[in-house]
Structure 1
Amino acid sequence: MVNREYRREMLYCGILNNGIVETALCYLPDNIWNQINGKIAITTLNSDACRLAQKICKHDEIVVLSPWIFTYIPAGACEADREFRYFIFCILHEIAHAILKHSPPEELSSKENEEQEDEADKYAIEWFNKYVLENARKGLTQINIEEIREIQEEYQRKTAQLINWG
C-alpha cells in the first residue's frame, strides 16, 4: 500500500468538502493514485462564478465539481449511504477520464463521447468495487451501473427544479 498523504495543492474544495473528496480518493488503486497525486487538481465552484488561479491551472488535469453534488450528501452521511456512494463514483469517473486521456466532448461525435463515458463508468465501478471487496469490514456494498443511472436521473430532476425555480 502506498502512502496516501494528500498533496495540499491537489484539493481546492474547501475544508469540509476536501475531507469528502479525500474519502473518495481512497477508492483509487495504488497505481492510479501514484499517477495522479499532485497532477490532478479537484475544485468546486463556491460562488456564482470563479476564476481558476494559476496554481490550479498548473496541474495536468482539473476536475471541477458542481457545488450541488455536495449538497446532495446529507449531514452525517457515511460511505455506505447512497448519496455518498454516488459522489465517490463521480470522483472516480472523472479521474478515469483523466487517466485514459479522453478528449473533451465537443471534439467527439455523440457515439465517441458515449463510448468514452461508458469506459470511464467501467473503470470507476471497477475501482469502487475492488475497494469494497478489499475493505469488507466496513460493511460497504458494491455499486452497479443501474444504481448510478437511477441516482443520475434523480439528481437531474433536482437540478432542473433548481435551475427552473426562478
Structure 2
Amino acid sequence: IAARSPVIRTVAERAASGVPVLGICNGFQILCEAGILPGVLMRNASLRFICREAHLRVETTRSAFTRLYEKGEVIGCPVAHGDGNYRVDGETLARLKGEDRIAFRYTDATGRIGEDTNLNGSVESIAGVLSAGRNVLGMMPHPEDLIEPEQGGSDGRRLFEGLLGAVGVAA
C-alpha cells in the first residue's frame, strides 16, 4: 500500500535523476513494490519474525553507500523483520550479479555463505541490492542500529559516512 502513496512518485523521480535513496527494512520493501528496485520481499522462510545480530559480507564498494568498506569485508548488522526473504527471477538475478549490484549477503563471522547463515531464505543470501544507477540501496538489515560503540559496535556508521561524503556533507 505504501508503494502507492503519492510521495513515491517523487522518490522515483529523484532516484531516476541520480539522487541517493536508501531503503532499510520496510523501506526496501516499498522500493521493490514501487518498482524502483527489482524483486520482492516475501515472508521469511522460517515463517517467524527474526530479531538478532547478523553478519553481512560487503559484495561491492562501487556505490556511495558501500565505498568506505572493503570488498569481502564482514560487518555486523542487526536484523528485525518477518518479511525479509528477497526473491527475484533467474534473469534478474543474473543481471544483478553481472552488473555487480548485490551490495550485501548474509554470512557467518568468517564470510562463509551457507543455508545456516541465510537468516530469512533470501535467494543467494542477498541482504541488499543497488539500482542500475547505483544510487539506490535497499537492504533488510538495520545499519542505523549499529553506528555508535554504545550500541554494541559501529559497523553501520561507514554506510552513512560514505553517503554523506558522496553528497558533500561532512559526517
Q: Fold-level match, TM-score > 0.5?
A: no
Give me the TM-score of the superposition, normalised by structure 1.
Answer: 0.24
Structure richer in strand, relative to its length = 2
TM-score, length basis structure 2: 0.24
Is the helix fraction higher in 1 or 2? 1
Higher normalized contact order (CA 8 Å, seq sep 6+, divided by chain length): 2
